[in-house]
């Protein structure tokens, strides 16, 4: 019986990158990871928005940080097939204007090539957040 760890499959490596993204970029606020993982020509389809490249994503990230504090993303189910990883997540945060604690769920799908994100799609419960803010 071998005690050596088996190398991770490409699918597991890709899942690890997506989990790392949420942990380091959102939970730890490490914006250096954005340029490392978000390829220069990557496009994030965020609802009606299209965020292109790491610099635009940094501005998007910073705008959310201006609006919300105490951001904590918890990863849920992740699935991987080919070059795609899908991750269901939950975010807990505080709205800086109202001081209200908020919870939202979302799903991200990321296409990965050579260890970097090259395209992503994201949907989250904006209506649920609006209802929490108006309550």
Give residue-wise pLDDT tens across range 54-112.
Answer: 999 999 999 999 999 999 999 999 999 999 999 999 999 999 999 999 999 999 999 99
Helical (H) or strand (E) element with 30: none
Q: CA-CA distances (angstroms) from residue 2 to 6, 7, 8, 12, 21?
A: 10, 13, 16, 21, 32
Asked whether the predicted pLDDT for residue 1 surpasses 90, the reply is no
Q: Count each helix (H run) and each strand (E run) in the chain, helices first.
A: 4, 6
Q: Enumerate the β-bridge partners of residue 12.
A: none
CATH of 10-134, one of 3.10.450.50, 3.20.20.100, 3.40.50.720, 3.30.70.20: 3.10.450.50
Annotated domain spans of the chain:
10-134
Strand, helix or coil at 96? coil
């Amino acid at each position: 019986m071998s005690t050596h760890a088996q190398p991770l499959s490409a699918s597991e490596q890709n899942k690890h990158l997506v989990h790392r993204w949420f942990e380091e970029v959102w939970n730890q606020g490490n914006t250096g990871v954005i340029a490392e993982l978000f390829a220069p020509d990557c496009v994030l389809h965020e609802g009606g928005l299209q965020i292109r490249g790491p610099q635009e994503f940094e501005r998007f990230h910073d705008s959310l940080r201006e609006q919300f504090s105490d951001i904590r993303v918890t990863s849920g189910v992740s699935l991987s097939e080919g070059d795609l990883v899908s991750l269901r997540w939950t975010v807990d945060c505080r709205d800086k204007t109202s001081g209200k604690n908020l919870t939202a769920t979302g799903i991200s799908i990321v296409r990965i090539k050579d260890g970097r994100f090259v395209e992503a799609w994201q949907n989250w419960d904006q209506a649920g957040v609006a209802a929490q803010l108006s309550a």
